[in-house]
Amino acid sequence: MRKSALIGMLAAMAVPIVGSSACAPEATTAIDVNALAEGSYPAPAGNELTIGAAAAATGRYFGAAIDVNALAEGPYRALAGNELTAVTPENAMKWGEVEPQRGVFDWRPADELVGFAKAHGQKIRGHTLVWHGQLPSWFVDGNFAPNEVKALMLAHVSTEVGRFKGSIYAWDVVNEPLADNGGWRDNIFLKAMGPDYVSLALNAAHKADPGAKLYVNEYGVETSGPKMEALYDLVASLKRDGVPIDGVGLQCHLVSGAAPGDLPDVMRRFASLGVDVAVTELDLRIRSPATERDLQTQAADYARVVSACRMTKRCVGATAWGITDGHSWIPGFFQGYGAALPFDEGYRPKPAVAAILKAFAAPGP
């Protein structure tokens, strides 16, 4: 979409996004679903119909994890700027990236993402503050005493949230605190502080930016089971104790053809606790090479996930973990799989795009 066309579209918007901030666009005009051919989508350079606009018309956002380095590529930058109403830094805000040496900070990639999002009127989901992965080596290998680990964690949360105060719509404050069996994940934070590290991190984030929405983000909780129940119990206990938690992130890293049928029920259960729900890291991987039938199955699963959000009043939006197959983590981590995202390596829309648009355009609750 040309910049002038985007400005015209935003000027016509009237319905605010749930939990919108000053930098977020609102809603757009109705979408003519009948005009969409299955598996087709207009070229981004010349049409105002976008996934973000379709989501905004329902009071939700559609976002993606952004590789800041890829923003130097014109097609990637254009697609991210045109299609999305929210962005998440894929890596740029993780502790190991922002503080590679103790007390030495590199904010340039994170600042670039924030500037890009603000220039395009997009929400920003900060990701992630407290996680067992991608920690700086000085922290992991420092042999710190438990009280030092606690102090360093709290300082990190306060410093990063404080730096971006007023710019970040929501933070994934604690990421993946649970093991696959529903127990606590054994990590450096748990060893030092026990389960209290979750509430300590949430309280520190709230103190640093009272206006930001605060999430616990987890994978493998999209269907009923021990891990999902453990997350439910954790959020319920945080709410009972008055800990500031605003939402639950369901990552939704899924295999195409196996999207859970009870996802709407899971979303409603979490929402019943008085928190928002968001799909935070959606992708649907396909065993390579993907056939046309595989792509149609994937499209149906994308629609299933988006529809679950559309039918859950407190589901505020969906974020794909990347937007184009050319910049996807899947092939590097899941041998023999790929083609997990809505747009292919050539930035062409896959059948998933039309399916997402139709799912957002369907009548809501």
Predicted local distance difference test score (pLDDT) of residue 48: 53
Kindly report whether the global pTM for this prediction surpasses the value 0.85. Answer: yes
Q: Domains in the chain, please, with CATH? A: 3-361 (3.20.20.80)
**What is the amino acid identity at position 346?**
G
Is pLDDT above 90 for 22? no
Count other C-beta atoms under 10 Å from residue 335's C-beta: 8
Predicted local distance difference test score (pLDDT) of residue 49: 77
- pLDDT tens, 196-242? 999 999 999 999 999 999 999 999 999 999 999 999 999 999 999 99
Q: Going by DSSP bridges, is the β-strand pair 86-89/123-130 parallel, antiparallel, or unpaired? A: parallel
Is pLDDT above 60 for 40? no
Is pLDDT above 90 for 299? yes
Euclidean distance between the first and the last CA atom of the chain, given in angstroms as a whole number: 31
- pLDDT tens, 320-342? 999 999 999 999 999 999 999 99
CB 166 within 8 A of CB 193: no
Calculate the average pLDDT of the chain: 89
Tell me which of 49 and 34 has the higher pLDDT: 49
Rounded mean pLDDT of 281-301? 98
Band (365; pLDDT cuts 50, 70, 90):
confident
Is pLDDT above 50 for 361? yes
Count other C-beta atoms under 10 Å from residue 137's C-beta: 10
Catalytic residues: 176, 281
Measured CA distances, 137 to 92, 95, 98, 192 (Å): 16, 10, 12, 17
- pLDDT tens, 85-129? 999 999 999 999 999 999 999 999 999 999 999 999 999 999 999
Measured CA distances, 42 to 26, 45, 306 (Å): 22, 8, 20
Measured CA distances, 311 to 253, 254, 304 (Å): 20, 20, 11
Predicted local distance difference test score (pLDDT) of residue 1: 33
